[in-house]
């Protein structure tokens, strides 16, 4: 009876040994160890990414802060430099002063030469029935050019119209005048007899005599020297006027800046004084009402 009611063992359970019974625990331990390593790796990766993001954020903040500081410092520097630049531009200096005197003297000389040629050409043109037209046209044209641009240079020195454009016109015309002197020298060197034959043929309408024409022939080398000196003077006028005009335009702009700042400070001081007086008036009326 006992054998009938007793539970019969499974053959598979009988074959299970204590060593085989411990195998599932070993596998679970190995799998749990692998999962811990994976979690550790993922944590390390996340920590690395977080650190990288923090570094990028810090670097971007530092760059923005440095750029803002540089902008503010540059703006302050610009303001200070503008004021200092205006003060420097107002002062002419010895070199520019000397250049101004030199250019004014050249304009005066050109104006006088131009006036002489204009008067001489007008006399040749109007005082005779058969005038020397070539001589009169050349004299009037050359004299008018010299006189006109000498006047333009004087206007450029005295007024600020169109950024002293008169000085610019006078400067560039100086190159053409120097070129005219060079062509005249080459013409005299190439064919001096042609020029003196023309003078001899038209000496009556040119207010010349035979003795004066002979004297001019003898003084021809001296005229070459004079023409070379006048050409060099015109080239010097060009370079001096280019620099001088730029300096004068800068001085005009600097004076405008300084006067604008002075008006601004004057308006601010006037507004503050008005507000102060209005405040005192209000206090007075408050005391009267009390």
Token pair of 269, please?
A: 């001081």
Virtual torsion, Cα 148, 150, 151, 155, nearest 10 deg = 130
Chain Cα centroid distance, residue 244: 16
Could you state, in order of their start, the residue ranges of all structural domains in the chain? 93-248
Question: Where are the strands (E) in the chain, listed by range?
Answer: none
Rounded CA gap, 130 and 206, in Å?
A: 11
What pLDDT does residue 278 have?
A: 54
Token pair of 264, please?
A: 């601004």
pLDDT of 174-226, one tens digit each? 999 999 999 999 998 998 888 899 999 988 888 888 999 999 999 999 999 99
Rounded CA gap, 6 and 69, in Å?
A: 94
Triad 52, 57, 62: Cα angle to 5°? 125
Low-confidence spans in the chain with pLDDT less than 50: 1-24, 26, 30, 75-80, 280, 283-285, 288-289
Rounded CA gap, 179 and 202, in Å?
A: 27
What pLDDT does residue 258 have?
A: 79
- Asked whether the beta carbons of 174 and 238 are under 8 A apart, the reply is yes
Rounded CA gap, 290 and 286, in Å?
A: 6
Of 115, 114, 135, 112, whose CA–CA distance to 124 is shortest?
135
pLDDT of 227-241, one tens digit each? 999 999 999 999 999
Q: What is the pTM of this model?
A: 0.62
Q: Is 162 left (phi over 0), alpha (psi -120 to 50) or beta?
A: left
Triad 139, 141, 144: Cα angle to 5°? 100
Token pair of 167, please?
A: 């000085």
Rounded CA gap, 147 and 105, in Å?
A: 14
What pLDDT does residue 146 have?
A: 94
Helices 220-289 and 93-126 pack at an angle, to 10 degrees, of 120
What pLDDT does residue 215 have?
A: 92
């Amino acid at each position: 009876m006992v054998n009938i009611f007793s539970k019969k063992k499974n053959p598979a359970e009988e074959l299970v040994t204590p060593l085989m019974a411990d195998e599932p625990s070993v596998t679970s331990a190995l799998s749990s160890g692998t999962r811990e390593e994976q979690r550790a790796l993922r944590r390390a990766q996340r920590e690395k990414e977080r650190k990288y993001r923090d570094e990028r954020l810090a670097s971007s903040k530092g760059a923005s802060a440095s750029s803002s500081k540089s902008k503010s410092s540059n703006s302050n520097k610009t303001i200070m430099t503008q004021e200092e630049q205006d003060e420097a531009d107002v002062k002419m200096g010895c070199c520019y002063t000397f250049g101004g005197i030199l250019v004014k003297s050249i304009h005066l000389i050109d104006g006088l030469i131009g006036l002489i040629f204009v008067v001489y050409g007008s006399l040749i043109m109007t005082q005779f029935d058969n005038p020397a037209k070539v001589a009169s046209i050349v004299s009037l044209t050359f004299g008018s050019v010299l006189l006109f641009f000498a006047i333009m240079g004087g206007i450029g020195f005295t007024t600020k119209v169109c950024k002293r454009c008169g000085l610019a016109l006078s400067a560039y015309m100086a190159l053409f005048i120097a070129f005219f002197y060079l062509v005249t020298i080459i013409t005299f060197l190439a064919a001096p007899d042609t020029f003196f034959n023309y003078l001899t043929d038209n000496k009556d309408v040119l207010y010349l005599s035979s003795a004066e024409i002979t004297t001019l022939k003898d003084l021809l080398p001296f005229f070459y020297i004079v023409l070379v000196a006048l050409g060099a003077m015109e080239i010097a006028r060009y370079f001096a006027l280019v620099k001088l005009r730029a300096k004068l335009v800068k001085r005009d702009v600097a004076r405008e800046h300084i006067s604008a700042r002075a008006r601004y400070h004057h308006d601010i001081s006037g507004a503050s004084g008005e507000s102060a007086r209005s405040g005192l008036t209000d206090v007075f009326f408050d005391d009267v009402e009390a």
